Amino acid sequence: MSAGNPTGSPLPESVAAKANSGEDRREIVVISHSNLFYWWPVWAVCFLMGILTYLDGTLMVTVPPGTKPVVEVKVPSPGDPSKMVTREAWVLPEGKKLPRENKEDEDSQPKEAKLHMSQSKNYGVIFVFTLLLVIVITNVPLRGMWSVIVIITLILLTVIFALAGWWEYIFEQLGRLDIRINAGGYFVLGGVLFIIWLITFAFFDRQIYMVFSQAQFKVRTEIGGGERVYSTVGLQLERQRNDLFRHWILGFGSGDLIVRTTGAQAHHFDFPNVLSISRKMREIESILVTQKVDVVA
C-alpha cells in the first residue's frame, strides 16, 4: 500500500499537491453517539399520535363501576332549561356521583370533560409496538449473518403462518388489544424524551470524540475525561456497518469506527454510532494522504 494513499485508489492531483505542500490544515471531528440517538422514532411517534388524538376531537370521561348506557333520557335543554330534550347518556349507579370541580364540596358542579382521547385504539397499539421494537433494536445488536438470519426467519414465518391460515386468528386477537393514551400523555412523554434526546445529541455525545489532522489525532473516550494525542503514522481504521436495523434503518447509514495505533504502546479505540461514517472515512483519508495508514472498510 502506498504511503500517499490509504486505500490504494488514485488521488486527485489537487489533493496530492496540497498534502505534499503541507497546506492541508483541516481537522475532521468524529463523534461517538449513544444508543439514545436511535430512539428518535419513539418521540416522533409520540408527537404524531398526540396530534392525531387531539384532532380526533373526542374527550375522555371517568365514571364509577356499574355505570350503564341509556339510549333515551330526558334532560333539560342547554339553551332553555325549562325545555326537556332527549339525549343518550351514561347513568351512574345509585349513590355514585361524578367527580366535582371542588372535591371538598359535593354540591359543586361536576367536572367537564377536558382530556382529549381518540376513539381509535390503534394509536396506543402503534406507540407500544414502536417502543418495544426500538428497545430490542438498540439493545440486541444483530450484525452480519445474524441480520440475514433474522430477516429470513421473519419471511419464512410469514409464509408459514399464511399457508396455515394463522394470520387471520392473530389479527383477530390483536384487534381485541386496546391501549389508549390521551393527547396530553403523548405530548408530555414525547416532549420530555425529545428534550433528553436533543441535549444528549447536541451536548453530551460531543464530549466523546476523535479529531483527525494530517500528523496526529486527538481522542477523548469518556465525558469529563482527558484528551490524548497520538501520531497518525501506521494508523489503522476499520468501519463496521453490518447491523441492518440499527445502522441502516434507524441510523441512516451510521456505523462503528475502530481505530488502532501502532508502536510499542498500541491502542485500540471503539467508537460506536458514528453518523455518516462513509463520508467521515473519505474526509479522514483525504487529509492523511502523506501518511502510511491502513484502512479496512
Same domain, 183 and 217: no
pTM: 0.74
Tell me, yes or no, whether 223 lies in a domain: yes
Tell me, yes or no, whether 125 lies in a domain: yes
Same domain, 217 and 280: yes
Task: Please tell me the total count of domains within the chain.
Answer: 2
Q: Which residue has the cell 332549561?
A: 81
pLDDT bracket for residue 38 (50, 70, 90): very high
C-alpha cell recorded at residue 138? 438498540
Same domain, 49 and 151: yes
pLDDT digits (tens, 9 = 90+) for 57-71: 888 888 888 888 888
Domain boundary among 159, 184, 203: 203
Domain boundary among 203, 231, 257: 203
Same domain, 180 and 48: yes
Tell me, yes or no, whether 224 lies in a domain: yes
Tell me, yes or no, whether 2 lies in a domain: no
Same domain, 129 and 197: yes
Same domain, 150 and 248: no
User: How far is 297 from 282, CA to CA, in rounded Å?
Assistant: 11
Q: Which of 270, 235, 236, 234 is nearest to 255 (CA)?
A: 270
Dihedral of alpha carbons 50, 52, 57, 61, sign: negative
For residues 9 and 293, the answer to whether their CB atoms sit within 8 Å is no
For residues 195-230, one letter each, b for 16 or more C-beta atoms within 10 angstroms of the residue's C-beta and e for the rest, the string is eebeebbeeebeebbbebbbeebebbbeeeeeeeeb
Same domain, 285 and 171: no
Tell me, yes or no, whether 112 lies in a domain: no
pLDDT digits (tens, 9 = 90+) for 200-254: 999 999 999 999 988 888 999 888 888 888 888 888 888 888 777 888 888 888 8
Same domain, 46 and 178: yes
Domain boundary among 203, 234, 268: 203
Same domain, 165 and 147: yes
Report the percent of the chain where pLDDT is more than 90.
Answer: 18
Same domain, 124 and 255: no
Same domain, 53 and 154: yes
**What CATH number did the domain enclosing 283 receive?**
2.30.29
Question: Residue 276 pLDDT > 50, yes or no?
Answer: yes
Tell me, yes or no, whether 91 lies in a domain: no
Same domain, 219 and 173: no
Question: Residue 13 pLDDT > 60, yes or no?
Answer: no
As a whole number, the mean pLDDT across the chain is: 80
Containing domain of residue 152, as a range? 38-57+119-203
For residues 19 and 4, the answer to whether their CB atoms sit within 8 Å is yes
Averaged pLDDT, 2-7: 38
pLDDT bracket for residue 24 (50, 70, 90): low
Tell me, yes or no, whether 218 lies in a domain: yes
Tell me, yes or no, whether 6 lies in a domain: no
